[in-house]
A and B are shown apart, each in its own frame.
Chain A
């Protein structure tokens, strides 16, 4: 027969399986019947003849099995058999399926969702060529960068050119500057955030344009035609993904720009802030190389091959040292090199790590649970396998069957897992996007690698534990297994030990999660009650983004009459609105900012030796705020000493400052700070007042030293407005917005919200963390509960006979219940003790090394690891153990001891 014919034969057979089975049956039966008839004809009694014929024929089932094998289609047929059998078995023990499949599905799904986010945010390569060689360079002392402590400032063009001409470590250095541009396309103007970039920007990053081209050298020449590269988001959202976008012209800052390129999605070269939508070339101007006053440059550099960022750092230190030596009057701060990936990912990995560990624990609990169930079922089926083996089933055949069953089980769990992962990823993204602390969230997809891994884990697990009965039912033990069921009173110690181990480990994992969840929730609740130190009622806040096209290019410390007038007008116009009590302007809102430290020197006091200065960047630093005279009044913060800002503290007058109590305590512990002169941000200012401490950075940190400058003397590029209403300020939002529009229709009002919401938003990271960990902990407790329940019911079922005998010999039913519940309690106690120890160690780790950082202040402090939480959680799990074991124990004693003894 040709291969083709054979294949056809084989295929035909597959489709005629049931008919073939039937035919085989008919054929064998007619053989036996014919033989019987012959025997009768030869004179045998009919009954005797039938018996004789069957005996001589031998086992019909075994013959059939051999025939199937001979026919050569055994595998397919067997699998289809096994599939049916597996489904039937699952149906029969539906409780097993009902517990195991959702358990694993949930575990797989949650793990896949969290790990998908972790992978996209942390592990996926950045969308640049050789991202490991990319660094951010900041101005500041190198000791400002420690791990993820972001202590640095933007750079000035002069410094950038110094680095450019003197350093050898970099292949390329470039920079960008944030620039918002007014898009006027017929409709009302819209302010877009973008970057004005220095030459070599795209070459340094090494990312090719998605459409068209990136900027090229000729674009950076002064008076070359206006060109712009746009982001993928801008292309799809604002320009409708127009295929002919290249060459199209848009009006930016009232000038016509030609779109020459679209960047790929996820191209985010900044370290923080909104997604830039535009990249325009910077035209170098005369004297720029000497410009040491215009801050706001963000330099990026590509290291030469083989040069580490530490080597580059050392070189920059040498350069700044030399420049400082050559020209002591130069306020050269030095450079700080930060690897790009550390910069982009920042400290977000801490939250993710915590989540990943938590969800890993959950997956462990789920796996243990299922292993538990599988093992229990496997031991149950030992007898079945022994019988089948004795009846002549081949070993390969049994393995195939186990494999099929495991596959059915793993498939069901994986399908559920995919569904959970899809929903979970979406939910997680919504939650995290609102918090806006993680970069690259837009690139998060359900990671099928993770799903497949989890699915394989399931399969492996179910395989390992399904094979237990087969290993035990090896031919040598067949006989033992067959007879043991009848004799052994209760399961042997070794069989039960594994189950007990599972229960204990579930306790440990769940307790760790539960304690973590309780601690996080507790500290979150505590935080909500923290007094911010200012009055947030009836306080409405919003941001004014000032377009450079109308108000000129901004530079710190420069005279800026246009902005000066604008801010004064805004303050006056808004204060006149009926129902408004007071209006204040500030560069940053309380609880909406990061610590932006500057070194402090007190005039007339010897500076500390340099070696001491570098000890701790907090030690000699202060934050800086720029506020209008009404600021403290609007916030309801009271003065402790001296005076507030007044009308006479205007531009041109002597530069004055107010400091908070923390500043006064730190720098003037035994002196009166009023009238003293300090240098902050290289500017000398005189202290005229001290105010009480209030929370500016976050609710859960002690207040750091802050110095307040008068907004009239130090203008910020954009301002926040704080408007206190006489009653409900939120209702005045529309009127305030309208007043701004009347003043300047092109002035965008952004992020309008009551101060109370600002406060609650500042806690959103902690809220999300507490919620997610709490959720995971709850799931895990649920799983642990069902795990204990299933182990106990199984153990009770195995010991039914023992219980029967106990009752028959006069044991009180209550004693039996106590015996069983007591066993669960013992396991629970061991688990709780171990779990508490692990949680304490884990908690120390979390609070000390992982979760605390100056930027994202910790909501888990060492003090919050209170024993109360540990005891409470342990008690809770113990109660769970009692509840979960009570029902099976009751069932055991309710059964008639006689039936229990006769059973099996």
Chain B
């Protein structure tokens, strides 16, 4: 996986936080939600979802609870904690700032430099 994983990791965490900020979701549900929002343009490697969930939970940003899924299956639901919410906001701001800066850089024309 190498460097690619690291890059993905940062963004994957944010995507997960966004997905569960809209309401409690189980692992598969998070995957579907992200695909749905991204209109299937983003492919998430299924194997790397769970380690990310466990890490976020360990960091205390999300919390899990056992419940029942739509098709009456035992499922583990994740939702955002207060710390996670604050974290998600600051991460979003940072991301937007970064994206803006990078977009600005990429959009720069030679005479502007």
Q: Is B45 an interface residue (CB 8 A)?
A: yes
A474 → B minimal CB distance (Å): 19
A776 → B minimal CB distance (Å): 56
* The one of B47, B51, B69 that contacts A70, using a Cβ cutoff of 8 Å: B51
Q: Is B60 an interface residue (CB 8 A)?
A: yes
CB contact under 8 A between A72 and B58, given known A31-B27, A33-B73, A37-B71:
yes
A66 touches B27 (CB 8 A): no
A31 touches B54 (CB 8 A): no
Chain A contacts for B58, CB-based, 8 A: 9, 70-72
Chain A contacts for B46, CB-based, 8 A: 31, 35, 56-58
Residue in A56, A59, A62, A70 with the greatest tally of chain B CB atoms within 10 Å: A70
* The one of A5, A6, A30 that contacts B74, using a Cβ cutoff of 8 Å: A30
Q: Is A391 an interface residue (CB 8 A)?
A: no
Encode B65-95 as 1/0 by CB contact (under 8 A) with A.
0100101011110000001000000000000
Interface positions of A from 632 to 654, Cβ below 8 Å from B = none
CB contact under 8 A between A5 and B60, given known A23-B76, A30-B73, A57-B46:
yes
> Which B residues fall within an 8 A CB radius of A?
26-28, 45-48, 50-52, 54-55, 57-60, 66, 69, 71, 73-76, 83
Q: Is A63 an interface residue (CB 8 A)?
A: yes
A62 touches B52 (CB 8 A): no
- Complex CA gap A218/B4 in Å reads 91
A72 → B minimal CB distance (Å): 5
CB contact under 8 A between A31 and B28, given known A26-B74, A70-B55:
yes
Those 10 A-B pairs whose CB atoms lie nearest each other, nearest first: A1-B60, A58-B47, A70-B55, A66-B51, A70-B54, A34-B28, A67-B54, A70-B51, A57-B46, A63-B47
> Which A residues fall within an 8 A CB radius of B?
1, 5-6, 9, 23-24, 26-28, 30-31, 33-35, 37, 56-59, 62-63, 66-67, 69-72
* The one of B45, B55, B73 that contacts A58, using a Cβ cutoff of 8 Å: B45
Chain B contacts for A28, CB-based, 8 A: 50
A1 touches B59 (CB 8 A): yes
Chain B contacts for A30, CB-based, 8 A: 26, 28, 69, 73-75
Chain A contacts for B69, CB-based, 8 A: 30, 34
Chain B contacts for A66, CB-based, 8 A: 47-48, 50-51
- Complex CA gap A70/B50 in Å reads 9
Chain B contacts for A62, CB-based, 8 A: 47
B83 touches A67 (CB 8 A): no
Chain A contacts for B52, CB-based, 8 A: 70
Chain B contacts for A35, CB-based, 8 A: 28, 46
Chain B contacts for A37, CB-based, 8 A: 71
Chain A contacts for B50, CB-based, 8 A: 24, 27-28, 31, 63, 66-67
- Complex CA gap A56/B73 in Å reads 21
Output the nearest chain B residue to A62 by Cβ-Cβ distance.
B47
- Complex CA gap A6/B60 in Å reads 8
A-B contact pairs, 18 of them (CB 8 A): A9-B60, A23-B76, A24-B50, A28-B50, A30-B26, A30-B73, A30-B75, A34-B28, A34-B69, A34-B73, A35-B28, A56-B46, A58-B45, A59-B47, A63-B47, A66-B48, A70-B55, A71-B55
Chain B contacts for A33, CB-based, 8 A: 73
* The one of A27, A56, A71 that contacts B76, using a Cβ cutoff of 8 Å: A27
Chain A contacts for B66, CB-based, 8 A: 23
B48 → A minimal CB distance (Å): 8
- Complex CA gap A35/B47 in Å reads 13
Output the nearest chain A residue to B70 by Cβ-Cβ distance.
A34
Chain A contacts for B59, CB-based, 8 A: 1
Chain A contacts for B73, CB-based, 8 A: 30, 33-34
Chain B contacts for A59, CB-based, 8 A: 47
A69 touches B51 (CB 8 A): yes
Chain B contacts for A71, CB-based, 8 A: 54-55, 57-58
Output the nearest chain A residue to B54 by Cβ-Cβ distance.
A70
Output the nearest chain A residue to B59 by Cβ-Cβ distance.
A1
Chain A contacts for B60, CB-based, 8 A: 1, 5-6, 9
A532 → B minimal CB distance (Å): 85
Residue in B47, B57, B66, B76 with the greatest tally of chain A CB atoms within 10 Å: B47
- Complex CA gap A24/B53 in Å reads 11
- Complex CA gap A5/B83 in Å reads 13
- Complex CA gap A71/B51 in Å reads 8
- Complex CA gap A35/B35 in Å reads 13
- Complex CA gap A9/B54 in Å reads 13
B83 touches A1 (CB 8 A): yes
